Structure 1
Amino acid sequence: MDERKLINQLQKLLQGKRYFIVIDDIWDIPAWEMNNCAFMDSHLGSRIIITTRDFDVATKAGGIYRMEPLSDDNSKMLFYTRTFGGEGASSDNQPAEVTNKILKKYVGVPLAMITIANLLVGKRCEDWSKVYDAIGFGNEDNKVVHNTRKILSFSYYDLPSHLKSCLLYVSMFFEDSLIGKRTLIWRWVCEGFVLDREGIGSFELGEIYFNELVNKSMIRWIDEDDDDQGGCRVHDMVLDLIRTISNDINIVTVHDMEQHGTSLRGQQTNRVRRLALHRRSVEHNSSISMEHLRPFNVVGRSANSMPVLLSLKVLHVLVIQDCVFLEGHSLEHLGKLVQLRYLGVVKTKVKLPKGVRHDLKLLKILDVRGGLISELPPSVGELMNLRCLWADAGTMTKGEIGKLTCLEELQLYSVEKCPNFFPCKALMELRVLEIYFGELEESAGKALMESLCNMQKIHKLMLGDDDRVAKYLVVLNDSLEDLTPCTKLHQLGLPIIVIPRVPSWINPLSVPLLSHLCLHVVVLEVRDVQTIGRLSSLLKLGLWSKDEKNISYTFGSNEFHKLRVLYTKKVEISVGEGALPMLEELRYCASAQRKDIANLGPWR
């Protein structure tokens, strides 16, 4: 029946009556049907409720209600009701260990809880482990599982082609892993999944793709406190679906015997395009042709179970994570991978060849996080196409980073040991600058602050010491007033730099997205705290003053609405009724010799 005719018939049937209509699992709604139809003339108190996993559809319908995941108790009740007829009905016979694993894995997701419970109904308790181990449900001949897959497949086939490619690529990652947002987007970029669009950078466009997949409930956003960018996870049933599709159309091949039973044997693998080897899987099949391989992802394996790099002639992405190499071993033939765009050597102790600059001219991303690579060779400073350089404490670089004018993201430790790093005025494309110092001289700090005035695209700025705890301070006379901040600035942390006062551009109009702020100032005034309190996105605040004189401040109910973490010193705190409603952590430094202890009396 035509949708318009159905609406008209319902309108006539329900005219003047009170009704309650639920329309389930909607994928597309013309705006007039929900906003302009004559249902509006019906009996007061009538309601139309639709359910959808597509955020765009919800926006059209209006009055969005975001459902929270089921609580632990309700998830448990749902599971036991389906498997045992009620919570605790068979508590003496149920396999507690497997049950706890299942509840932990699928807690909060009704569809998953019902699906796994239906798999277990009618099975002996001693067979539950076998069902749990078959996480992908690939071998289960069960109508519920089939229907669940069918529903999820609707979500997949509803995606535009560019989002389908991005989603299928996620199957490269091992199950239950937290996939970093920045890592995933840059891998999409290096794979060519993010199409060029005039007026917008490749990362920003990839971020739009990422958000669309989140809004369509294909990936689940995870907000990590330690990483402002957060990441995502993929539900096991979605992962099973996209791995099956990826394997069928030869987009991604995952060799992972431990988790999904996906094996290269019996597949048409003579032309593998993307290969992931995960953890305790069997040895790599040397008969597989590697000459067409574009990305190669290796996690938790020994060097002797990996193919020779020389055979990977058209490789674009190489990720080696948690792998074991012999002492003193280097990535031999790395320089032969002339098409390489992304190189990740994460939590893996191995040496990088010294002459990478001559051959890896197309390299965009270099990720050596994990701190097990002690030194980056000087030739890294010659990778003129490099867009991101990520390193952790324990890794130093001898290259001249200031020459890498295409850099958009830089995370580096022991920066004072980098040759000619100060000044770094040429790094004008930086969006993320996160650098740490073993020590910082006043002249270097001043040069760095002057360089920041040229970096007008900064979204995240963090200057700290190598222990991320300011053991020393560099006092500057410059108050950063000359810095022109990007309106997308969301994190600003300067714990080792002391500036005269809070810059005037820290206000809701200039930096509306600022969520993390850490400042050390010589003089702090009440009006500064008031202005900061109007930042509607602020989640974490660290505010210290060197002034011997404390200021008193009473937090009110009309400010700091989202603040979760507050670190402060030299501020006498009082909390008014209804103030700081979201605060989870407070670190307050007070003098034992003075009566400046926080007054938290009315706070609830």
Structure 2
Amino acid sequence: MELAVAALGSLLPKLATLLTDEYKLQKGVRGEIRFLKAEMESMQAALDRVSKLPPQQIDDLHNIWVRDLKELSYDIEDSVDSFMLRVDAPSCAKPKSFRRFFDRTIGLLTKAKARHHIADDIQDIRSRIQEVTGRRERYRFPEVAVQPENTEMDPRLPALYEDVKNLVGIEGPSEKLTALLMQGEGAQKQQLMAVSIVGVGGLGKTTLANSVYQRIRGEFQSQAFVSVSLKPDIKKIFSSILRQVSGGEYPNAEAWTHTELIDTIRQILEKKRYIIVIDDVWGESAWTQIKCSLTENSLGSRVIVTTRKTDVVKFSCSSIDGTLCELDPLSYEDSKKLLCKRVLNENEEMHSELEDVSRKILEKCGGIPLAIITTASLLASRPNKTKYEWYTVYNSMGSGLQKDKSLENMRGILYLSYSDLPSYLKPCLLYLSMFPEDFEIRSDDLVRLWIAEGFIDEKQGSNLYDLGERYFIELVNRSMIQPLYKKDGSPRACRVHDMILDLIISLSSQENFVTILEGPCHISSACNIRRLSLRGSKSNSKEEQMIFPATVNISHVRSVVAFGDAVEWVPPMSRFPVLRVLAFKSRSRNNIHPKDLGSMQHLRYLELGGDLKTELLEGIGNLKLLRTLDLWGPFKGELPASISQLRQLENLLTANMVKFPDGTGNLISLHELLCLSLDESPNTLAELGNLTKLRVLTVGGLDKNQSYVKTFLQALSNLVNLRRLVFFGDGTCSLDYMPDQWRGPARLQSFHGDLVTFSQVPWWFSSLSELSSLSMRVNLLRQEDLKLLGALPVLRFLDLVIDAHGTTTEEQLVVGADHPFRSLAEFKFMHYTRCWLEFARGVMPKLQRLELVLEARSREGGGFDIGLENLASLTHVTVKVDCDGARMKEVEDVEYKVRDALDMHPNHPTLKLSRHYEGRMIKDEDKDGHEVLEESDEDWEYMMKDENKDGQEESEES
């Protein structure tokens, strides 16, 4: 349903554009387009109305009508896009030339032909609209007044009655949750407190909440357990709470008003210590209403909330003093124990031949108890416990959600999460079925693909990429995707849990949204293929790879994403006339003809890997709608000059050895430029200031030629929209070449310069009020630099390295109250000098993770006191002990004092200790310090690898 709404939402603005004077359509054609637009708007209104009906009231006739309408919308949009391209095509001939006259004459004839063609298309579309509408009317039956009774069982119900002896892996989480509920002393323990359990559907949140509830309910005077569900009946929930907390005194409370129910519940709870479990909360609205019935009586009452959405957790913890309990998947050992308990007899052990296949099955289940239990039911239904039978189940898990009846409960629970998604997120989620299981999907790539497909609507005052990032975060918060984070805590990629991937593959197939081909198979020619995910295998022979016979119509395909060897059997590009997305996720071998590439005028997204030839890209200037060009392979040539004609290009992503042509400054729509090597493209530096929409820039070569720096800084002042700046290289440079009145890009949020050594912290950093992530390597660090950085208001992540050449760095640096780093959450401080930090009271109030290098050599005055106890929010500490020139006793003394300091810390942070340069320690028996152990190559290589591993992520982007 939502996919049809999305298709119409993309089409209607284009129909409105066609009615403007710009396209000079004949009066009759304009009238047809007005009819078409009005018809589509009416259908959109009808779709909205149908979408609000309960699922049991939407019959197959409605579903067929929705499917036909979606396909029709796609075809209309393709026709409109083709017309706009033909009419908008500009002439490249010089003014006042015979060629210009000739081109203009041909252009007028071509445009007249295009207008005639769109008129024919609209006539055909009008006939199809009448056909779709007429079919629906012909087979419609009279409305039935009485709706069928919903007799489906709540899929969460079995979790409430699970036998305790069948539960696995719940002891640890149960103890943790109990401790959270009972924590606190004195007045704090007496306050009303909420603990929220968050996690994906099927993870065991209800089971855990009920287990703890049954264990501790006896310590409370009143108790209640209620389930909220996706579409809650609030009055029914209040009635249930009232019956439970009153001991059944009000059996007929359903007839009461909301106010009467709330007042009575509050009156009962006012003088009682109570515990209430509010299970499966989906939205803030439901929680806001239920919270009205909870009263703060300073008797130590407790509330447990379970939810799949982190937004609900944040809201519930802000409205009642609360904390978060994030439920982790089961370990492999517990997963195996649960599987065996469900499949094998009590004293039966798993046969050795089943070990490998059971491990693969459990990896696919990903530690989700419901997935393990559901799969176990499939295994138990098999007549024999053999390796062959279990592999049959394993191989069917990708399609089991739609084929096996025993999986209906699992599907129902996961489908609830999908149903709760807003309409704009559903196509974004279904698009993830384009990627194989366990594939790491970069968040930036995914947002670019969504934009190319038209899934993100540009709203007033909003940037498409900001909206796309918001969509990504929303899917994370709803537990639909598993995020992978950068070192600064921001999401860089995601994976999709196999069980959720199964669901969205099933839905994509039903909706004809994505067609997945894995190796040799036959394609039905009955339906229009819209998106192709091709997954190759080296085992496929050349004959097997011929899977696209001429009888199969692939002319409506909008996206082709190819993995593995599938890039070698992609059909000729001429068979994809309306292709918007072409992405090769493995190295290609130039199997695209340059002429074909230049003719793909609908293309918005092009991603090619491998060692490409420059000739392949010669026609790229024809791709006027191209938004993303991603050449991620080892391409080291020069981009063609025609690339400067791509005025809509927003993302230009290349390796760091690519040469950009003159005219790159004409790409005025660029949002991301990666990677600009000034060694290869010095002329581009002078044009950089023209790219005022640039949001992300990766640049190298400043360390090779200091004369570039001033020009670069001048260009930087023009990049008013720059959010992320990344440097690559291996030398030293300074960024302090500008006068005092010069200011850096005010909207900069992320600065990553840990692959280049800067002479010092640039003074203009003080103007970066939005900087939240900073990693850099400097030769010199002074007290005033710490004061500058500490004053940045939203700095959350800081990775600061002092290079070995920084001999003038002050030995003792104090983080004081005049530069408190008030937003910092993670701090990494590495140095190769005799420098150390001390933390004053009250600084870094939000710091949770700290990583330090500590010298073991005796300091002047002795002792070890850097003020770790003053970091009030600290939870994780990593200390690397520098053993260079120290005795074993001194090293052990530092380690002891670190442990002792953290043992005294009220939060008892976790500690990770390691030693570096152990090969350079002084032997204990050497009293004079002359006999020094030689530094081993292994120690040095390990140290360098460790220091650079965090920067590796940025170098990969480079």
CA contact (8 A) 1:566 1:585 kept: no
What's 2:753 paired with? 493
Larger mean CA deviation between 426-435 and 118-127 belongs to 118-127
What's 2:709 paired with? 445
What's 2:238 paired with? 7
SS in 2 for 1:425: helix
Structure 1 residue 455: deviation in Å?
1.4
Residue by residue, what CA displacement relative to the aligned partner does 1:526-568 show, whole Å, maximum 9, x if unpaired?
2423554676511533344865323224677986964364433
Distance, in Å, in 2 between the alignment partners of 1:197 and 1:122 is 52
Letter in 1 for 2:737: D
Distance, in Å, in 2 between the alignment partners of 1:90 and 1:117 is 15
What's 1:520 paired with? 778
Whether 2:679 is the aligned partner of 1:416: answer yes
| Structure 2 unmatched runs, 5+ | 1-231, 246-267, 838-865, 900-958
What's 1:47 paired with? 302
Change (3 A) 1:512 1:40: farther
Instruction: State the identity %.
Output: 28
Change (3 A) 1:504 1:321: closer
CA contact (8 A) 2:709 2:737 kept: no
Distance, in Å, in 1 between the alignment partners of 2:280 and 2:739 is 52
Distance, in Å, in 2 between the alignment partners of 1:24 and 1:291 is 49
Distance, in Å, in 2 between the alignment partners of 1:421 and 1:603 is 51
More helix per residue: 1 or 2? 2
Structure 1 residue 274: deviation in Å?
1.2
CA contact (8 A) 1:544 1:568 kept: yes
Whether 2:575 is the aligned partner of 1:311: answer yes
Residue by residue, what CA displacement relative to the aligned partner does 1:310-342 show, whole Å, maximum 9, x if unpaired?
221111111122144269x75441010111111
What's 2:510 paired with? 248
Residue by residue, what CA displacement relative to the aligned partner does 1:461-482 show, whole Å, maximum 9, x if unpaired?
11221xxxx2x22345426963
Whether 2:460 is the aligned partner of 1:198: answer yes
Map 1:115-194; keep pairs closer than 5 Å: 115-123=374-382, 124-126=385-387, 127-138=389-400, 142-194=404-456
Change (3 A) 1:141 1:193: closer
What's 1:26 paired with? 281
Distance, in Å, in 1 between the alignment partners of 2:661 and 2:288 is 63
Change (3 A) 1:459 1:591: farther
Larger mean CA deviation between 365-374 and 348-357 belongs to 348-357
Distance, in Å, in 1 between the alignment partners of 2:787 and 2:588 is 53
Structure 1 residue 119: deviation in Å?
2.7
Q: Which has the larger radius of gyration?
A: 2
Structure 1 residue 583: deviation in Å?
4.5
Structure 1 residue 144: deviation in Å?
4.5
Residue by residue, what CA displacement relative to the aligned partner does 1:195-253 show, whole Å, maximum 9, x if unpaired?
01111111001111111111111222111449965111111121122122212222211
Distance, in Å, in 2 between the alignment partners of 1:237 and 1:116 is 11
SS in 2 for 1:448: helix
Distance, in Å, in 2 between the alignment partners of 1:321 and 1:243 is 19
Map 1:92-107; keep pairs closer than 5 Å: 92-93=351-352, 95-107=354-366
Residue by residue, what CA displacement relative to the aligned partner does 1:247-268 show, whole Å, maximum 9, x if unpaired?
222221111259xxxx653473
Distance, in Å, in 1 between the alignment partners of 2:630 and 2:529 is 25
What's 1:503 paired with? 763
What's 1:83 paired with? 343
CA contact (8 A) 1:384 1:403 kept: yes
Distance, in Å, in 1 between the alignment partners of 2:882 and 2:641 is 44
Distance, in Å, in 2 between the alignment partners of 1:177 and 1:541 is 32
Whether 2:863 is the aligned partner of 1:603: answer no
Larger mean CA deviation between 583-592 and 311-320 belongs to 583-592
Change (3 A) 1:193 1:519: same
SS in 1 for 2:836: strand
Change (3 A) 1:96 1:382: same
Distance, in Å, in 1 between the alignment partners of 2:602 and 2:760 is 49
Change (3 A) 1:556 1:155: same
| Structure 1 unmatched runs, 5+ | none
Whether 2:556 is the aligned partner of 1:299: answer no
CA contact (8 A) 1:478 1:500 kept: no
Structure 1 residue 79: deviation in Å?
3.5
Distance, in Å, in 1 between the alignment partners of 2:663 and 2:404 is 60
Whether 2:639 is the aligned partner of 1:376: answer yes
Structure 1 residue 90: deviation in Å?
1.3
Whether 2:824 is the aligned partner of 1:568: answer no
Residue by residue, what CA displacement relative to the aligned partner does 1:467-507 show, whole Å, maximum 9, x if unpaired?
xxx2x223454269633344451233265363554435458
Distance, in Å, in 1 between the alignment partners of 2:525 and 2:370 is 31
Letter in 2 for 1:370: G
Letter in 1 for 2:234: E
Distance, in Å, in 1 between the alignment partners of 2:456 and 2:748 is 21
Distance, in Å, in 1 between the alignment partners of 2:745 and 2:885 is 35
What's 1:276 paired with? 533
Letter in 2 for 1:364: R
Letter in 2 for 1:381: S
Distance, in Å, in 1 between the alignment partners of 2:895 and 2:815 is 12
Q: If the length of structure 1 is used for normalisation, what is the TM-score?
A: 0.85
Distance, in Å, in 2 between the alignment partners of 1:583 and 1:331 is 55
Structure 1 residue 178: deviation in Å?
0.6
